[in-house]
Structure 1
């Protein structure tokens, strides 16, 4: 059986390099295109050598339309600045797409919902198997503990990361808001200065950006008697890359619609 051909958008970034490594070793899928932004200094450079492995024969290119034609599925880990155009081309070429781009605004998220009425899409703020278990465990804990426990979320990433809180932390917040039946007005982002006594419905989000931390997220539940921590620490970007490739393989043969990593993992 022939391998699934996957076109990668944002191929020269940290995640792009990890996905290329995973695809090169895969028995089910292969890299079919490596897309970079127009004018990139990496154009025409071999994607494998750039990723620290052997030559793939797939060079970096900004020609997304040709990449679509040569691919069965797309994976997008580019920046949000070119996201809308990437999604539009995927829809016009009727190509399923896995979206791992973070920092998307509400309008761009609406574009994803609209696009999913035309093509199958997996959209997740984090493709890691472990992080998606973190989401599920957080949901379970919040439903059990309710207002008897104070909730705090800590998001730690490398010093280069631009969005804060991370897309993963934002999703943790959404899981908590739904499970606890609270609203955005119950959320505070960091603390500075004088505050009244903590409100029982408050959810606090904290961010650290330092060093080369790949990604760490911890959800804390505090009561006067005990503390519960649900944490995930990424030790290698390949954990996200493996999940992204799983998501792409999941989309093969799927009908149009919006899917998430819970669908991919069956949890």
Structure 2
């Protein structure tokens, strides 16, 4: 049985490197293309050498249309600045796509919704199996604890990360809002200055950007009598890469529709 051919967008970044490493060891899938921004200094480099493994023979290139034609499924971990163009090419070429790009606007998320009526898409703020269990456990806890507990979310990432809060923290917020039946107006982002006593419906999100932390997320549920903490701490970017490849393999037999990692993992 031939391997699934995966085209990688944003292949020279941190996540791109991790996905290339995972695909080099995969029994089911292989790297078919590795695209980077037009004008990138990495064009012409071997993707494997750049990723710290042996040569793959797949060279960094900026031609996404050609990459689509030679791939079964796409994985996009590029910058959100080129996201709309990448998505439109995937739609035009009728290629399934896994979207791990963070920092997307509401308008860009609507583009995903529209595109999913034509092609199959997995969109998730975090591809890690463990983080998706964090989402599910947070949902369960919130539905059980309800108004009796205060809720705070802590998001810690490396000093290079540009978006804050992270896509994962934003998704945790959405999970909590749905479970508690609350609105965005109940959310605060960090605290500064003088505040009245905490509103019982408040959900607070705090962001730290320091060092080389790959990604730590903790949801705190606190009552006067006890505290519950649900945490996930990434130790290697490969955890996200493994999930992204699983998502690509999941899409290989889908026709169209919008899916998330719960669909991929069956939870």
TM-score, normalised to structure 1, is 1.00
Q: Distance in 2 between matches of 1:186 and 1:259?
A: 28
- Report the equivalent of 1:228: 228
Q: Distance in 2 between matches of 1:131 and 1:244?
A: 13
Q: Distance in 1 between matches of 2:171 and 2:266?
A: 19
Give a deviation string over 1:158-207, Cα, whole Å, max 9, x none: 00000000000000000000000000000000000000000000000000
- Report the equivalent of 2:99: 99
The gaps in structure 2 that reach 5 residues or longer are: none
Q: Distance in 1 between matches of 2:160 and 2:102?
A: 14
Give a deviation string over 1:17-73, Cα, whole Å, max 9, x none: 000000010000000000000000000100000000000000000000000000000
> Does residue 1:88 correspond to 2:88, yes or no?
yes
- Alpha-carbon deviation of 1:120? 0.2
Q: Give the root-mean-square deviation of aligned CA atoms.
A: 0.2
Q: Distance in 2 between matches of 1:56 and 1:255?
A: 30
SS of residue paired to 1:213: coil
Give a deviation string over 1:69-99, Cα, whole Å, max 9, x none: 0000000000000000000000000000000
Q: Distance in 1 between matches of 2:27 and 2:129?
A: 19
The gaps in structure 1 that reach 5 residues or longer are: none
TM-score, normalised to structure 2, is 1.00
Q: Which runs of 4+ in 1 moved over 2 A?
A: none
- Equivalenced residue count is 267
> Does residue 1:173 correspond to 2:173, yes or no?
yes
Q: Distance in 2 between matches of 1:242 and 1:225?
A: 39
